[in-house]
Chains A and B, each alone.
Chain A
Amino acid sequence: MATGEMSLRSAEAVAGNAPDRVLVERCQKGDPQAFARLVGLHEGMVFNLAARLIGDAEEAKDVAQDVFLQVYRTLGRFEGRSSLKTWIYRIVVNQCHNRHRFWRRRKKDCSRPLDELTPADQARLVAGDRGQPSPYDEVRRRERSGRVQAALLSLGFDHRAILLLREVEELSCETIAATLGIPEGTVKSRLARAREALRVRLLACLEEGDRA
Chain B
Amino acid sequence: MTCTRVRAQLSSYLDGDLSPAASGALSAHLETCPACARHLESLRAALGMLADLPRISPSEGIAARVFDRLEVETRGPGLAMVFRSFGARRPLIFPSLVTAGLLVVTVLLGSVALDRAWRSLDEPLPPVAGAWGATTPASGTEANPLFPSADVGLPRARPGGPVAQDILAQMGEGTLFLETVVARDGSVSAVTLLTGDRLFAQPVVDALRRQKFEPVRLRGRPVAVSVYRLFSRMDVRSPMT
Chain A interface (Cβ < 8 Å from any Cβ of B): 32, 36, 39-40, 43-44, 46-48, 51-52, 57, 60-61, 64-65, 68-69, 72, 114, 118, 120-121, 124-128, 141, 144-145, 148-149, 152, 163, 167-168, 173, 188, 191-192, 195-196, 198-199, 202-203, 205-206, 209
Q: Is B108 an interface residue (CB 8 A)?
A: no
Closest 4 CB pairs of A and B: A192-B11, A39-B63, A199-B46, A47-B58
| Cα distance, A148 to B50, chains bound together (Å) | 6
Chain A's closest residue to B54 (CB) is A125
Chain A's closest residue to B17 (CB) is A188
Per the 8 Å Cβ criterion, residues 1-15 of B in contact with A are: 7-8, 10-12, 15
- Of listed A40, A152, A196, A209, residue having the most chain B CB within 10 A: A196
Q: Is B240 an interface residue (CB 8 A)?
A: no
Residue contact A43 to B43, C-beta cutoff 8 Å: no
Residue contact B62 to A65, C-beta cutoff 8 Å: yes
Q: Which of A39, A114, A145, A206 contacts B62 (CB 8 A)?
A: A39
The segment from B64-72, B79-87, B159-167, B180-188 that touches chain A is B64-72
Q: Is B19 an interface residue (CB 8 A)?
A: no
Q: Which of B7, B46, B57 contacts A124 (CB 8 A)?
A: B57
Residue contact A69 to B66, C-beta cutoff 8 Å: yes
- In the complex where A69-B70, A198-B50, A202-B49 touch, is A61 in contact with B62 (Cβ < 8 A)? yes
Residue contact B59 to A167, C-beta cutoff 8 Å: no
Q: Is B131 an interface residue (CB 8 A)?
A: no
Question: Which residues on the A side are within 8 Å of B43 (C-beta)?
Answer: 195-196, 199
- In the complex where A65-B69, A191-B11, A198-B47 touch, is A149 in contact with B53 (Cβ < 8 A)? yes
| Cα distance, A64 to B66, chains bound together (Å) | 9
Question: Which residues on the B side are within 8 Å of A51 (C-beta)?
Answer: 56
Q: Is B120 an interface residue (CB 8 A)?
A: no
Kindly provide the distance from the CB of B239 to the nearest chain A CB, expressed in whole angstroms.
96
Question: Which residues on the B side are within 8 Å of A167 (C-beta)?
Answer: 47, 50-51
Q: Is B42 an interface residue (CB 8 A)?
A: yes
Dominant secondary structure at the B interface: helix
Q: Is B219 an interface residue (CB 8 A)?
A: no
Kindly provide the distance from the CB of B132 to the nearest chain A CB, expressed in whole angstroms.
75
Residue contact B55 to A48, C-beta cutoff 8 Å: yes
- Of listed A40, A48, A141, residue having the most chain B CB within 10 A: A48
Q: Is B45 an interface residue (CB 8 A)?
A: yes
Q: Which of B8, B15, B57 contacts A44 (CB 8 A)?
A: B57
| Cα distance, A167 to B55, chains bound together (Å) | 13
Q: Which of B54, B57, B63 contacts A128 (CB 8 A)?
A: B54
| Cα distance, A127 to B56, chains bound together (Å) | 9
A-B contact pairs, 26 of them (CB 8 A): A39-B62, A39-B66, A43-B61, A48-B55, A61-B59, A64-B62, A65-B62, A68-B66, A69-B66, A69-B69, A69-B73, A114-B56, A120-B59, A124-B56, A126-B55, A128-B52, A128-B54, A149-B53, A163-B50, A167-B47, A196-B7, A196-B11, A199-B47, A202-B45, A203-B42, A206-B42
| Cα distance, A205 to B51, chains bound together (Å) | 15
Question: Which residues on the B side are within 8 Å of A68 (C-beta)?
Answer: 62-63, 66
| Cα distance, A163 to B65, chains bound together (Å) | 30
Question: Which residues on the B side are within 8 Å of A39 (C-beta)?
Answer: 62-63, 66
- Of listed B15, B46, B49, B73, residue having the most chain A CB within 10 A: B46
Chain B's closest residue to A163 (CB) is B50
Question: Which residues on the B side are within 8 Å of A124 (C-beta)?
Answer: 56-59
| Cα distance, A137 to B53, chains bound together (Å) | 14
Question: Which residues on the A side are within 8 Å of B70 (C-beta)?
Answer: 69, 72
- Of listed A40, A47, A203, residue having the most chain B CB within 10 A: A47
Chain A's closest residue to B68 (CB) is A65
Chain A's closest residue to B9 (CB) is A192
